[in-house]
């Protein structure tokens, strides 16, 4: 968020009923076209909304926490979740099933029982598809090819509480992406059940995370992508996920 956008939010917080672009332009001494661009960006990111009063738009702070604010904001997902009367966790009108580490561990144990650990990968991929589809629905953007925006969406992984992303490398021309994690909930689970994994002669890697980024980025780009867990912090200094075109 740049300085103008921060100033706009600060000014509108002091005017709960909102301000027109003419009023904002007068206060900021910035032309209407420039202000309009920044206002639209803040609206796309879920911070602002407007109502029509005659021919004028009255801009105001959006009090409803929505999916775009979750991605572009600086707060953790857990701080944005509300429990509704039916005990569903929700952000705006979207219902979420949160996967704490205990549930992820149960899923691992179930997959080992049926000798299909790729079941975990499929769960992660479906979750990634859901998150990307939800973003596209809220933003109205069909294909995401902006590097800064991709960074913010990828970092949603942190806000969900799955781990800490240390570095993201994106080649927007080839769509090659490398994501390095310095911590991972899934790697801790692998430690807890490593004896069972070895007993089943199962390759030890972060199946959920691998699938999650494959589903997320395939849906954002609108083309099939392949995600590979090259390293895992389970037994190395970091987790490395490489994503490229299939």
pTM: 0.65
Assess contact for 206 and 242: CB atoms under 8 A.
no
Q: Are residues 37 and 128 in the same domain?
A: no
Q: Are residues 41 and 91 in the same domain?
A: no
Q: Are residues 53 and 85 in the same domain?
A: no
Q: What is the pLDDT of residues 157-184, one digit of tens each?
A: 887 778 899 999 999 999 999 999 999 9
Q: Are residues 167 and 227 in the same domain?
A: yes
Q: What is the CATH number of the domain that holds 53?
A: 1.10.10.10
236-242: average pLDDT? 96
Question: In which domain, by residue range, is 52 found?
Answer: 3-61
Q: How many separate domains does the chain show?
A: 2
Read off the pLDDT band of 63 (50, 70, 90). low
Q: Are residues 119 and 208 in the same domain?
A: yes
Q: Are residues 85 and 192 in the same domain?
A: yes
* Residue 192 domain-assigned (yes or no): yes
Has residue 11 got a pLDDT over 80?
yes
Has residue 198 got a pLDDT over 50?
yes
CA 63/CA 12 separation, integer angstroms: 12
Q: Are residues 88 and 209 in the same domain?
A: yes
CA 76 to chain centre: 11
Q: What is the CATH number of the domain that holds 138?
A: 3.30.1380.20
* Residue 93 domain-assigned (yes or no): yes
Least confident of 102-111, 124-133, 199-208, 224-233: 102-111
Q: Tell me the sheet residues that pair with 95.
A: 90
Q: Are residues 31 and 145 in the same domain?
A: no
99-126: average pLDDT? 83
Q: Are residues 86 and 31 in the same domain?
A: no
CA 130/CA 242 separation, integer angstroms: 20
Q: Are residues 85 and 147 in the same domain?
A: yes
CA 94/CA 134 separation, integer angstroms: 9
Q: Tell me the sheet residues that pair with 49.
A: 60
* Residue 66 domain-assigned (yes or no): no
């Amino acid at each position: 968020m740049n300085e103008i956008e921060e100033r706009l939010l600060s000014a509108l917080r002091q005017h709960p009923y909102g301000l027109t672009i003419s009023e904002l332009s007068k206060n900021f001494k910035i032309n209407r076209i420039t202000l309009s661009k920044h206002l639209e960006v803040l609206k796309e990111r879920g911070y602002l909304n407007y109502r029509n009063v005659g021919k004028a738009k009255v801009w105001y702070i959006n009090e409803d926490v929505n999916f775009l604010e979750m991605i572009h904001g600086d707060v953790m997902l857990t701080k944005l979740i509300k429990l509704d009367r039916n005990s569903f966790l929700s952000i705006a009108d979207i219902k979420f099933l949160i996967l704490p580490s205990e549930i992820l561990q149960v899923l691992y144990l179930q997959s080992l029982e049926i000798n299909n650990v790729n079941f975990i990968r499929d769960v992660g991929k479906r979750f990634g598809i859901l998150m990307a589809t939800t973003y596209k629905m809220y933003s109205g953007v069909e294909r995401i090819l902006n590097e800064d925006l991709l960074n913010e969406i990828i970092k949603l992984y942190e806000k969900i509480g799955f781990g800490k992303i240390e570095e993201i490398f994106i080649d927007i021309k080839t769509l090659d992406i490398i994501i390095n994690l310095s911590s991972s909930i899934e790697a801790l689970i692998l430690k807890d059940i490593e004896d069972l994994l070895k007993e089943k002669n199962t390759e030890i890697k972060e199946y959920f995370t691998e699938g999650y980024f494959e589903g997320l980025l395939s849906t954002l780009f609108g083309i099939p992508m392949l995600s590979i867990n090259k390293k895992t912090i389970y037994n190395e200094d970091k987790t490395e996920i490489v994503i490229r075109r299939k």
